[in-house]
Amino acid sequence: MKFVHIADMHFDTSFTTLTNRANLGDVRRFDQRQAFNKIINYIKENKIPYLFIAGDFYEHEYIRLSTIEYINNLFTQIPETQIFISPGNHDPYLKDSFYSKYYWSENVHIFDSKLSIIEQDGIDIYGYGFDDFYYTNHDLENTKIKNPDKINILIAHGSLNASDTLEKNYNPISEKMLETKGFDYIALGHIHKLDYNTKENQKIVYPGSTVSLGFDELGQHGMIVGDIEKDSLKLEFVPVDNKEFVIKEIDVTEVIDLDELASIINNIEVNDNVYYKVSLIGKRNFEIDMYKLNRLIIGNNIIKIKDYTKLNYDLEKLSRENTLKGLFVKEILKKMEENPEDEEVYKSALDIGFEVLEK
């Protein structure tokens, strides 16, 4: 039995982290539609009987009716495919949500906050979803597989092995507990990083975000395609995002001035389907005016430039100056000599002090 598993599409998200290009949010929202259209076409062409959507399918705060209608129209084009949606923390099953008030295609099943089971020939599908922006009330510990001889699937949105206080608000689930339940496949969402082949016979799977939301989500993004029988599971990752985010580092230590730096950035070999963030590293010998630098960049694919450089100074020479900066350096060098084990701390203090004194 074949299936497609996706999560974390975040339809109509604002893409607030990609603000350097005014229209990039609109472009990426269009990319979301293109990616989902690819998924539906793949399901059509390969006659996939099940589509699992493990939460954060859309953004409750920003989702437009026109986008819901676009999605539902695609659902009607695959009437033989059963679609199961587990609402997440960004698209909870609220009274005023589209999950609750919209008339979805007949092949769509949306889980509410109570763990339930949909029984079909040869396969039972369990699922539940968020009913608010936080959720901690699942009852998986007390759940028992009703029909062990059938293929049993669980669909949920949550934090596997949540360790910090914040993640414990987003449906924390114990991996060890899940492994004792006897599910043949567990379709999860919430973590935007792909996790499907990190260990042998892995049944607990995150497909990652379907479309990358920014530079903290590098690499390819797409869907998991599975072929499952009671005694076997084959999984494949299929990319569907037509764009990719890449970070390029440039060491400015040997760069003379801002014009040379701009020239280096403009000569980066770029791919039309890639968005780039340039990270400036090393020790700079000149002031980097980010406003001027951005105006000198001609490539539309350079989305962000971040300055992680540190000032390059001759500390011994500076310590002999009869200036506030010189006195500051002299004192720090003295502290470093007295406490060599804290050298890195004092170097950081120098960087901070120089930044203040430069203003």
Asked if 120 and 229 sit in the same domain, the reply is: yes
CA distance 313 to 311: 6
Asked if 213 and 349 sit in the same domain, the reply is: no
Assess contact for 25 and 10: CB atoms under 8 A.
Answer: no
CA distance 97 to 120: 28
Among 273, 255, 272, residue whose Cα is nearest residue 264:
255
Domain end position, chosen among 239, 269, 302? 239
Q: What residues contact 1, with CB distance under 8 A and at least 6 apart?
A: 49, 50, 122, 123, 151, 227, 228, 229
Which band of pLDDT confidence, cut at 50, 70 and 90, is reported for residue 103?
very high
CA distance 145 to 150: 9
Which of the pair, 265 or 354, is modelled with greater confidence?
Answer: 265
Determine the pLDDT at residue 187: 98
Which of the pair, 51 or 197, is modelled with greater confidence?
Answer: 51
Asked if 251 and 116 sit in the same domain, the reply is: no
Determine the pLDDT at residue 21: 64
Q: Which CATH number goes with the domain that contains 49?
A: 3.60.21.10
Asked if 340 and 209 sit in the same domain, the reply is: no
CA distance 158 to 88: 8
Outline where the chain has alpha helix (H). Answer: 24-46, 65-76, 98-101, 175-179, 258-266, 290-296, 315-319, 324-338, 343-358
Q: Which domain holds residue 288?
A: 244-311
CA distance 49 to 167: 33
pLDDT at 168 over 60: yes
Determine the pLDDT at residue 340: 85
pLDDT at 351 over 80: no
Domain end position, chosen among 239, 274, 289? 239
Determine the pLDDT at residue 162: 80
Sheet holding 302-307, edge to edge: 244-251, 274-281, 302-307
Q: Which amino acid is present at 4?
A: V
Please state which of the ranges 32-41, 159-168, 216-225, 264-273 shows the lowest mean pLDDT. Answer: 159-168
Q: For tokens 């090393």, name the residue.
A: 282
Which band of pLDDT confidence, cut at 50, 70 and 90, is reported for residue 152?
very high
Asked if 73 and 148 sit in the same domain, the reply is: yes
Asked if 173 and 304 sit in the same domain, the reply is: no
Asked if 329 and 354 sit in the same domain, the reply is: yes
Residues 183-191 have a mean pLDDT of 97
Asked if 111 and 135 sit in the same domain, the reply is: yes
Asked if 211 and 136 sit in the same domain, the reply is: yes
Give 13-60 pLDDT, tens digit per residue: 988 766 556 688 888 999 999 999 999 999 999 999 999 999 999 999
How much of the chain, in percent, has pLDDT values that exceed 70?
A: 97
Q: What residues contact 146, with CB distance under 8 A and at least 6 apart?
A: 117, 119, 124
Q: What is the dihedral of CA 65, 71, 77, 82, to 10 degrees?
A: -120
- Number of domains the chain is built from: 3
Give 208-234 pLDDT, tens digit per residue: 999 999 999 999 999 999 999 998 999
Asked if 290 and 221 sit in the same domain, the reply is: no
Domain end position, chosen among 176, 211, 239? 239
Asked if 16 and 152 sit in the same domain, the reply is: yes
By three-state DSSP, how is residue 36 classified?
helix
Asked if 95 and 143 sit in the same domain, the reply is: yes
Measured CA distances, 238 to 11, 138, 196, 296 (Å): 19, 31, 12, 38
